[in-house]
Homo-oligomer: A and B are copies of this chain.
Amino acid sequence: MTIFDTLDILGTIAFAISGALSAMNKKFDLFGIFIISFVTAIGGGTLRDMLIGNTPVSWMQNPFNIYIISTVACFSIVFRNKLYYLKKSLFLFDTIGLGVFTIIGIEYGIQANLAPMISIALGTMTGCFGGVIRDVLCNEIPIIFRKEIYATASILGGVCFTVLFNLNMPLNSIYISTTLLIILIRLLVVKYQVSLPKFSIQDQKN
């Protein structure tokens, strides 16, 4: 098992927990909790695979992911009150998932010979789309568009990845350092409550 695979499993677990909690917040039933857990965890990778034509998509090639996600969903249900109490550690999980999946997505893009800019976009989508689809299915405006510098951390990590990659750094070091960078950026951003500027349109009536 490579470092890549380990990161992938960590990210999957992190996102599966975040999905299960969202679904319980919305009072979904048992199946709803499983499915939101599932789409949050595999949504980003599935979009990535469909965009680059890597079919059957990754989670179909190995049932291992389904077992992990089911186990995590059960675990989240049993420990739901403890997990909620540990909101901060959940935020941490979500952030790990973001970092890991972004880097995995960029790696796929590079392997598919896409331009660096495109690979970064692919990585950002891989990292963010699971959360977007979770929010769409829960009938909410995706949180990443409004509240936090979420995708921005992802993009900065991606830029860093392509720079290091072009400097021919060893791959494993790149994976770990850029994943940590994304996680670090997001943690700092939330700690110091940095947020991106918003632009609203002035009312023309007066």
Q: Which residues of A contact B (CB under 8 A)?
A: 21, 23-33, 35-36, 46, 50-53, 55-57, 59-60, 62-63, 66, 77, 80-81, 84-85, 112, 114-115, 117-118, 121-122, 132, 136-142, 144-147, 149-152, 195-202, 204
Complex contact A36–B145 (CB within 8 A): yes
Residues of chain B within 8 A of A59, CB atoms compared? 118
Known interface pairs A23-B145, A60-B122; A81-B29 also in contact (CB < 8 Å): no
**Beyond A139-B139, A139-B141: 10 further Cβ-contacts under 8 Å?**
A24-B201, A27-B200, A31-B150, A31-B196, A32-B144, A35-B151, A52-B56, A53-B56, A60-B118, A84-B202
Taken together, the copies of this chain in the complex come to 3
**Can you spell out 12 A-B residue pairs with CB atoms less than 8 angstroms apart?**
A27-B146, A28-B198, A29-B146, A29-B147, A29-B198, A30-B197, A36-B145, A52-B55, A52-B56, A52-B60, A63-B118, A132-B137
Complex contact B137–A145 (CB within 8 A): yes
How many Å lie between the Cα of A46 and that of B140 in the bound state?
23
Complex contact A60–B51 (CB within 8 A): yes
How many Å lie between the Cα of A80 and that of B27 in the bound state?
33
How many Å lie between the Cα of A60 and that of B116 in the bound state?
10
How many Å lie between the Cα of A151 and that of B32 in the bound state?
9
